[in-house]
Amino acid sequence: MSNFIFGRYLPLDSVVHHLDPRNKLMLSFCYIVLVFMANNPVSYLVIIAFTVGAILASKISLGFFLKGIRPLLWLIVFTVVLQLLFSPAGGHVYFHWAFINITQFGLINSVYIFIRFLLIIMMSTLLTLSTQPLDIATGLASLMKPLRWVKVPVDTLAMMLSIALRFVPTLMDEANKIMNAQRARGVDFGEGGLLKQAKSLIPLMVPLFMSAFNRAEDLSTAMEARGYQDSEHRSQYRILTWQRRDTVTWIIFVVVLAAILVTRRW
């Protein structure tokens, strides 16, 4: 329960927090492409500088970013160790035994991959920590609008998404209540073998499904009573505005992109 998805936003007053959510979404998608492009020490330095700059600008302390790395730790260790031990020959060989080679090439490669992991995780953690879920949803709905041209019902999906976000905390509370109620009747959650653990979740899931559906019925009746017919023919109350600082972030991004394009040839 410690990784509860809604408690992760950190309300701080920084430049990053005040950016347009659409802008932050686009930037973090493009950032991953940027990380893919770096291929030598200098280009990695450029992108590290950019990332550190963004983190500093957000005023969020480093400890929160380290927390974001924890769930992916085994994958990081697995990858780095495999790269280190089984990389193709190249450069100076430090250690050799049977099919295991620790080479200069492998060492450099695993350092790159380690950095790459850190960068990608840190930037996505930054987006989560500096943006409220509802803002992410509004931004996403706005970015999906062009999909209307391929007949995707964007407005309906946006409506579903805002209903979903509104009810995550409610259902979360409810799940906890049901768990406690079943515990009081003798159910042991998270104990015993895998199959027993899975089975013990049935007394949680079944009431949760039913309660979610009951809420859906009540909410849809109440929505129709307030004049809801469809998602298309309505106006908007929540409006996002693109500001000058959003334009500035793109100028910085393009500069970094240019720097990487230049340095990766070295």
> Is residue 232 within the footprint of other proteins (CB under 8 A)?
no
Write down the least CB distance from residue 175 to other proteins, Å.
6
Among 68, 106, 178, 249, interactor with other proteins by CB under 8 A: 68
Among 97, 217, 251, 265, interactor with other proteins by CB under 8 A: 217
Among 45, 57, 163, 259, interactor with other proteins by CB under 8 A: 163
Under 8 Å between Cβ of 181 and 187? no
**Residue closer to other proteins, measured from CB, 181 or 248:** 181
**Residue closer to other proteins, measured from CB, 198 or 258:** 198
| Footprint (CB under 8 A) of other proteins, residues 174-213 | 175, 190, 194-195, 197-198, 201-202, 204-206, 208-210, 212-213
> Is residue 10 within the footprint of other proteins (CB under 8 A)?
no
Angle between helices 62-69 and 104-130 (to 10 degrees): 120
The Cα 217–Cα 223 span in angstroms is 10
Q: Is 151 helix (H, G, I), strand (E, B) or coil?
A: coil
> Is residue 115 within the footprint of other proteins (CB under 8 A)?
no
> Is residue 39 within the footprint of other proteins (CB under 8 A)?
no
> Is residue 48 within the footprint of other proteins (CB under 8 A)?
no
| Footprint (CB under 8 A) of other proteins, residues 127-146 | 127-129, 133, 136-137, 140
11 phi/psi in degrees, rounded to 5: -75, 95
**Residue closer to other proteins, measured from CB, 218 or 252:** 218
Under 8 Å between Cβ of 47 and 70? no
x/- string (CB under 8 A) for other proteins, residues 91-110? Answer: --------------------
Task: Outline where the chain has alpha helix (H).
Answer: 15-18, 21-37, 41-58, 62-69, 73-86, 104-130, 133-143, 154-184, 194-200, 202-225, 244-263
The Cα 184–Cα 23 span in angstroms is 48
Under 8 Å between Cβ of 208 and 234? no
The Cα 202–Cα 260 span in angstroms is 52
